[in-house]
């Protein structure tokens, strides 16, 4: 667990993960593991059930990087505001601009 926690605390890793997952912010656990192996370190090349246990343990510890979404889904909750401004596509940036305007006008909470 410690290695994944240390890894996720690295802003460069979160940046790369945002570039990969974008605003969807959800990945199935298997894809998350594959991304970690490919992009970061083959240390994550462990049986998927062991990796799943690591993810679940981190969620129980209430890390600031991800939580669980629907069954088998990792939902990333790390702050994306700065990343969004730099890496989001035009469609996403426009959608966020519209959302912020509506929020300022009191149309959404």
d(CA 89, CA 28): 23
- How confident is the prediction along the chain (109 residues), in pLDDT tens digits per residue? 588 888 889 888 888 888 888 777 899 999 999 999 988 777 788 999 999 999 999 999 999 899 999 999 999 988 776 776 666 667 666 766 777 788 788 776 6
b/e map 60-95, b = 16+ CB within 10 Å: eeebebbeeeeeeebebebebeebeeeebeeeeeee
């Amino acid at each position: 667990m410690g290695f994944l926690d240390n890894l996720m605390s690295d802003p460069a890793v979160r940046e790369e993960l945002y570039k990969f997952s974008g605003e969807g912010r959800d990945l199935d656990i298997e894809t998350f593991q594959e991304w970690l192996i490919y992009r970061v370190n083959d240390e994550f090349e462990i049986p998927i059930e062991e990796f799943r246990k690591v993810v679940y343990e981190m969620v129980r510890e209430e890390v600031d990087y991800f939580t669980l979404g629907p069954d088998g889904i990792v939902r990333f909750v790390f702050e994306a505001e700065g990343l969004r401004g730099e890496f989001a596509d035009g469609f996403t940036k426009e959608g966020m601009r519209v959302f912020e305007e509506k929020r300022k006008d009191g149309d959404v909470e």
